[in-house]
Amino acid sequence: KNEVEQSPQNLTAQEGEFITINCSYSVGISALHWLQQHPGGGIVSLFMLSSGKKKHGRLIATINIQEKHSSLHITASHPRDSAVYICSGGTSYGKLTFGQGTILTVHP
C-alpha cells in the first residue's frame, strides 16, 4: 500500500463541471502539497496545506489532519485544467512522498 493514495486515477469531465480529487496519506507529514503537471512535463506547486482550507481562483484545497485526508476541488472546470494532479506529503526536513497522480481530462 502506498503511503499517499489518490483517487480517482483517471477523471473525465465536461467543461463547467465541479471536480473533486481525493488524497489519503498514512505517513506523518508537516504539510500536504498539491501539484499540477501539464503534458509538457513541467510541475507547478498549487497549494501547500497544514490545516484547513485554501483557495486560489477556481481551485480549492482542504485538509483534515485527524482523518489524514485532503481534497482538491476545481469549480467551473475548463479544458485548460486538463493535467495530472499530484498529491504529496511533506516532512519538516523536506522529504516529499508522492501519490500516483490523477489524470484529469476536461472536454469542451
Partner 1 sequence: DSGVTQTPKHLITATGQRVTLRCSPRSGDLSVYWYQQSLDQGLQFLIHYYNGEERAKGNILERFSAQQFPDLHSELNLSSLELGDSALYFCASSTTGRYGYTFGSGTRLTVV
**Residues engaged in binding partner 1 (CB under 8 A):** 30-31, 33, 35, 41-45, 47-48, 86, 88, 90-98, 100-101
Closest CB to partner 1 among residues 94, 108: 94
Q: Residues with Cβ < 8 Å from 42, sequence gap 6 or more?
A: none
Nearest approach, Cβ of residue 14 and partner 1 (Å):
28
Among the listed residues 83, 100, 35, 25, the one whose alpha carbon sits nearest the alpha carbon of residue 61: 35
Nearest approach, Cβ of residue 89 and partner 1 (Å):
11
